[in-house]
Amino acid sequence: MAPTAVKSDVDVPEATPWRDVMRRVATDIAAPNAAVADQTASFPTRTFDALRHDGMLGLMVPKSLGGQELGLRSIADLCAILAGACGASGMIYAMHQIKLSSLVAHGMDTDYHRALMRDVATKQLLIASSTTEAGIGGDMRVSNCAIETAGDRVSLTKQATVLSYATEADIIMATARRNPASAGSDQVLIALRRDDYQLERIAEWNTLGMRGTCSEGFVLTVTAGADQIFPKPFHEIAVQSMLATAHVLWASVWFGIAADALSRAHASVRATARRMPSDFAGPLPGATRLAEATAKLQTFKSTLIAHIERFEAAKRDEDDLSSNSFTVEMNNLKIMASTMAVDVVREALMVTGIAGYRNDGAFSVGRHLRDVLSAPLMVANDRILANTAGLVVASRFDPGLE
């Protein structure tokens, strides 16, 4: 059977008017409200009100269900633009899109999920994700909690130790064991609307950065319809849509943060240049470092785009999508992007100096640095490397340049 994957897109970011819409939201709303979300660790409500108002939450939904059927490359571009203005907003937007991509890729054959997608597009519903759970050490591919079924109804209680923007979301997509007798890795994914669950807060979110994501801990208590469970096992959903989309969109968010930090460094070097006498013979302070960091950002961009294209190509072939080598490539994207993003922001700080170290002012990169330091930790790079290590040994080595 042909995979019901997201259809391959050939659009480029410039081809959509959504980029201009996102730029406006980023500049007019997200940027001026970023400091408040950061300082008070509060959800960027105004930014998401604006995104909803402009119809930005359902862009990935197929046209037949009221969406715009926007491809991953365009969504990645939108994430980067928003993240440049407010890292937390960019990450929330990306997390929403990651869950939506699973709905689009794996929910087209079931009435419940199609209706849900239609509502995401027409009512601009925000989707949160509950994969993390107490006692599983951060491994998304294992669950403790289990679905209990009674007729056509199911129930679930999950110790969701990290559940980003849970109280602001309209939908939560949660993983659980298929039933109480299932192994930890025999997981399903269930889509829940607000009426299907209750949240009891068990942990605060007081972190170095990404404070506006409000990734607090909750006990998630669910009673829902059995038809809300995706027919595909979660491990297939994870491998075929979720992991690659997550790595691409997270990388886009980190790119946006790094690019904005570097643009501040650029502006700061220009400000220095303005003060110099016109017969100044150089070298201009910070310019060499700026050049190095710009080269890094360029490599980051090329690699990210290459991986998006790689993912789009793999979507046409379910075997490729499920292959070890594809997983290795996407894991490598995560390692590269999280490392480079931190490097670039740190270089931007060195260029901007004390003005960059400040939490205020046009050259401040303080929030950028705190936000981007989450990158190597959210799914820890060490865990990903360990996972990749096993896969690399089991894969055929590819020495080619084709």
Partner 1 sequence: MRDRVRAIVGSMNLLPVPVDSLSDQDSLFDAGMTSFGSVQLMMAIEEEFDIEFPNSLLTRKTFATLDGLNSAVEQLVSQKA
Query: Rule CB under 8 A: which residues touch partner 1?
Result: 270, 273-274, 276-282, 284
Per the omega criterion (within 30 degrees of 0), is the bond before 283 cis? yes
With tokens 């020495």, the residue in question is: 399
Q: Which residues contact 39 (CB under 8 A, 6 or more apart)?
A: 211
Cα of 97 vs its chain's centroid, Å: 7
Taking the least distance from each CB to partner 1, the nearer of 274 and 396 is 274
Torsion of CA 265, 270, 276, 277, to 10 degrees: 160
Tell the burial category of 132 from Cβ atoms under 10 Å away from its Cβ (0-12, 13-18, 19+): buried
Taking the least distance from each CB to partner 1, the nearer of 272 and 322 is 272
Cα of 172 vs its chain's centroid, Å: 15
Could you give the CA distance from residue 260 to residue 85 in angstroms, rounded to a whole number?
A: 8
Taking the least distance from each CB to partner 1, the nearer of 151 and 277 is 277
Taking the least distance from each CB to partner 1, the nearer of 39 and 280 is 280
Shortest Cβ 269–partner 1 spacing (Å): 10
Could you give the CA distance from residue 99 to residue 266 in angstroms, rounded to a whole number?
A: 35
Taking the least distance from each CB to partner 1, the nearer of 272 and 381 is 272
Shortest Cβ 188–partner 1 spacing (Å): 50
Structure-token pair, residue 202 = 């068990």
Taking the least distance from each CB to partner 1, the nearer of 210 and 355 is 355
Give φ, ψ of 206 to 5 degrees. Answer: -120, 95
Shortest Cβ 271–partner 1 spacing (Å): 9
Could you give the CA distance from residue 399 to residue 402 in angstroms, rounded to a whole number?
A: 9
For the CA atoms of the chain, what is the radius of gyration?
21
Taking the least distance from each CB to partner 1, the nearer of 239 and 269 is 269
Taking the least distance from each CB to partner 1, the nearer of 17 and 277 is 277
Shortest Cβ 213–partner 1 spacing (Å): 33
> What's the 3-state SS for 222-262?
EEEEHHHECCCCHHHHHHHHHHHHHHHHHHHHHHHHHHHHH
Shortest Cβ 279–partner 1 spacing (Å): 7
Shortest Cβ 294–partner 1 spacing (Å): 13
Taking the least distance from each CB to partner 1, the nearer of 152 and 279 is 279
Shortest Cβ 298–partner 1 spacing (Å): 14
Structure-token pair, residue 159 = 């110790």
Shortest Cβ 274–partner 1 spacing (Å): 6
Shortest Cβ 273–partner 1 spacing (Å): 6
Could you give the CA distance from residue 134 to residue 139 in angstroms, rounded to a whole number?
A: 10
